[in-house]
Chains A and B, each alone.
Chain A
Amino acid sequence: QVQLVQSGAEVKKPGSSLKVSCRAFGGSFSTSAYNWVRQAPGHGLEWMGSLLPFFGTPKYAQNFQGRVTITADENTNTAYMELSSLTSDDTAVYFCAKGASTSSPFDSWGQGTLVTVSS
């Protein structure tokens, strides 16, 4: 079973950017898809995008195109999600989740990272 450990909570100013990390322990990092899913307070799950490091080409949800960047460092088995031009609507818990591919079930999840956007 793969364990995903995410970076800690952050407070951001409107207009700034955030970068959340997700380190994988166990399994084959390069041949798994790392998805990012966010959950606004009191709301459901929203897929943001994914990256399978072996292929290197990320895929993004239409709602986040142009604002989100997903990368991976195969040397440290860490996936990253960067979101720019933050507004208060981006206040949410951000999860990374692993699957065999982007269309596969998300079989391992990180603990979540709370991001608060406030002036």
Chain B
Amino acid sequence: QSVLTQPPSASGTPGQTVTISCSGSSSNIGTNTVNWYQQLPGTAPRLLIQNNGQRPSGFPDRFSGSKSGTSASLAISGLQSEDEADYYCAAWDDSLSSPVFGGGTKLTVL
């Protein structure tokens, strides 16, 4: 049972916009920034979005993140087949004094 809650799956067709949600609480998302990781099949995760909405170099601006209250979301516009991956949200949790992850969302490009 993950501390942060994500839908287990999401899907879209090429060119569409897909949004993945991440729900937490006042001890994590409510007071700390959210990071998103992309994990392509059979590979290690990579940092995709940091500090709610900042993209590290290497990822296109089709990927964007936002946060409101105790929830966050990842939006992928102009969906491409290579976006098919697992996506995880994460945040620091003040009560646990540790980083916590969502359960991950498997994105399928139809």
Query: Which residues of A are at the interface with B, using a C-beta cutoff of 8 A?
Result: 35, 37, 44-47, 59, 61-62, 95, 97, 102-103, 105-107, 109-112
Contact B104 A45 (CB under 8 A): yes
Contact B50 A105 (CB under 8 A): yes
Which among A44, A62, A109 has the highest number of chain B CB atoms within 10 Å?
A: A44
Contact B47 A107 (CB under 8 A): yes
Contact B44 A47 (CB under 8 A): no
Contact A112 B99 (CB under 8 A): no
B37 sits at the interface (CB 8 A) = yes
Interface residues on B, range: 20 to 34
* Chain A interface mostly: loop
Chain B hits for A102, CB < 8 A? 98-99
Contact B47 A47 (CB under 8 A): no
Contact B2 A44 (CB under 8 A): yes
In-complex Cβ contact of B44 among A44, A103, A107, A110 (8 A): A110
Chain B hits for A107, CB < 8 A? 47, 50, 56
Contact A45 B50 (CB under 8 A): no
Contact A106 B101 (CB under 8 A): no
Query: Which residues of B are at the interface with A, using a C-beta cutoff of 8 A?
Result: 2, 32, 35, 37, 44-47, 50-51, 56, 88, 90, 92, 96-104
Report if A59-B104 is in contact (Cβ < 8 Å); known contacts: A95-B44, A103-B32.
no
Q: 7 shortest A-B CB distances, which residue pairs?
A: A105-B50, A109-B44, A44-B104, A105-B35, A103-B92, A45-B101, A44-B103
Chain A hits for B51, CB < 8 A? 105
Contact A106 B47 (CB under 8 A): yes
Q: CA of A61 to CA of B98 in the docked complex: distance in angstroms?
A: 7
Report if A44-B98 is in contact (Cβ < 8 Å); known contacts: A107-B47, A107-B50.
no
Interchain nearest-CB distance for A106 vs B (Å): 6
Contact B99 A44 (CB under 8 A): no
Chain A hits for B47, CB < 8 A? 105-107
Q: CA of A103 to CA of B91 in the docked complex: distance in angstroms?
A: 8
Contact A45 B88 (CB under 8 A): yes
Can you name 13 A-B pairs with beta carbons within 8 Å?
A35-B99, A44-B88, A45-B37, A45-B45, A45-B104, A47-B101, A62-B98, A95-B44, A103-B92, A103-B99, A105-B51, A107-B47, A109-B46
